[in-house]
């Protein structure tokens, strides 16, 4: 089985032993505490589940700047994005060496993790701009990832953490939320050797479905992991429960039995394009996938990134051997009227745009909202029905 990134075995930061976790929760009651940002809470969940292996906690200023600059910590660990716990006002924990981190996303702000504080450092405007420019390739506050990063405060609390729970994800998505540990175990139990992972924050239309089939066929994969982002998205994105239902229906009807693991992870979308593509690859390796599909404008937003920047970063900036997972490079996929099937557009050079069934996201949302199913060449009717019901519920 593919090794995790940076170590021989996965080292999740969730305290799995019941007695130890109970003792830690009791200790947390008497510790100074601070409510952290949603981004920092997502980082804690990912650290807890083993997705951010081999990190042991939140980065300090030097590591964050180094990672932004060249995708390595100061000690030489490859990592594509800073993993930070930024706050506006650290005074509630001033002088404390051990603190409780409270969850901003759950009522009552329960303790999410206990942290050994190694440093509290203030980031300058220049620090923030350098990180934004390197990670997001822009400092434009219209970019949702940049806006989120700039809004969480300037004080970085760094140090190792022990995670007590997975925030709201286990409770809200009991059938879908899975840690890297759980997915790795399931892959092992199924006896899969070659495993392809597909990332989504949207429902899967016919082109996405066929792309997964194409990748599985070409790689000779034993199985597919459809891995949904369950954290905060941008306004207008379809809620995770609706997306989950649509994907489950598609898999049930159009994939062979026992060939797909449907799962999700608790993390807020960064919309960081190429850097986020590398991060996505890293945590798919940690969960046991050997291959990862990256298509056009992966993890992008607006016009901030070139169509294939999320693929070329693996050639131009990721050092050879930094990751063991292999990238399956995909072009835009669409239904060909000439061939009567879904193809990657780059593999149909004799086609013009008119030879494909192409619909914009805006057009599809309009149709669904009016109770009109997109053509069967674009979306499976059973999937479209779930989405139509959702959009019409917004209008009622």
Residues tagged active-site: 201-202
- DSSP notation for 57-86: EE--HHHHHHHHHHSB-TT--B-SS----E
Assigned token pair, 49: 């589940």
Helices (H), the chain: 18-29, 38-49, 61-70, 125-136, 144-150, 169-172, 180-190, 206-219, 240-254, 273-286, 309-316, 361-369, 381-395
Question: 36 burial class (0-12, 13-18, 19+ CB within 10 angstroms)?
Answer: buried
- Exposure on the CB side of residue 112, measured as CA atoms within 13 A: 31
Q: How far is 41 from 162, CA to CA, in rounded Å?
A: 13
Q: For residue 54, is the peptide bond before it cis, meaning its omega torsion is within 30 degrees of 0?
A: yes
Are the C-beta atoms of 162 and 31 separated by less than 8 Å? no
Bridge partners of residue 336, in order along the sequence: 341, 356
Structure-derived torsion over alpha carbons of residues 165, 170, 172, 175, reported in degrees to the nearest 10: 180
Assigned token pair, 82: 């800073």
Angle at the Cα of 62 from the Cα atoms of 60 and 64, rounded to 5 degrees: 65
């Amino acid at each position: 089985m593919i090794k995790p990134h940076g170590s021989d075995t996965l080292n999740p930061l969730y305290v799995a032993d019941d007695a130890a976790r109970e003792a830690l929760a009791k200790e947390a009651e008497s510790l100074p505490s601070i409510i952290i940002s949603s981004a920092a809470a997502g980082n804690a969940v990912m650290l807890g589940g083993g997705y951010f292996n081999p990190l042991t906690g939140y980065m300090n200023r030097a590591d964050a700047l180094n990672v932004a600059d060249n995708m390595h910590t100061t000690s030489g660990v490859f990592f594509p994005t800073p993993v930070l716990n930024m706050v506006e006002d650290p005074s509630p924990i001033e002088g404390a060496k051990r603190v409780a981190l409270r969850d901003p996303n759950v009522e009552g702000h329960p303790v999410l993790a206990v942290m050994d504080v190694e440093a509290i450092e203030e980031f300058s405007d220049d620090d923030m701009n350098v990180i934004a420019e390197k990670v997001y390739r822009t400092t434009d506050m219209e970019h949702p990832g940049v806006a989120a990063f700039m809004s969480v405060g300037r004080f970085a609390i760094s140090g190792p953490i022990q995670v007590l729970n997975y925030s709201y994800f286990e409770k809200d998505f009991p059938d879908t939320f899975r840690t890297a540990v759980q997915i790795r175990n399931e892959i092992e139990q199924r006896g899969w050797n070659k495993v392809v992972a597909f990332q989504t924050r949207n429902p899967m239309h016919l082109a996405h479905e066929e792309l997964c089939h194409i990748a599985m066929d070409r790689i000779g994969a034993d199985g597919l992991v459809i891995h949904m982002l369950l954290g905060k998205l941008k306004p207008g994105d379809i809620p995770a429960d609706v997306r989950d239902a649509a994907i489950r229906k598609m898999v049930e009807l159009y994939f062979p039995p026992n060939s797909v693991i449907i799962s999700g992870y608790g993390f807020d979308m960064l919309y960081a394009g190429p850097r986020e593509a590398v991060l996505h690859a890293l945590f798919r390796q940690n969960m046991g996938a050997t291959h990862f599909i990256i298509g056009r404008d992966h993890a992008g937003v607006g016009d901030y990134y070139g169509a294939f920047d999320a693929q070329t970063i693996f050639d131009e900036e990721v050092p050879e051997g930094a990751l063991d997972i292999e990238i399956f490079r995909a072009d835009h996929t669409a239904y060909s009227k000439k061939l009567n099937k879904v193809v990657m557009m780059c593999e149909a050079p004799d086609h013009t745009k008119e030879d494909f069934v192409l619909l914009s996201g805006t057009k599809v949302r309009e149709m669904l909202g009016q109770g009109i199913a997109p053509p069967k060449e674009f979306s499976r009717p059973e999937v479209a029905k779930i989405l139509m019901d959702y959009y019409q519920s917004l209008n009622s």
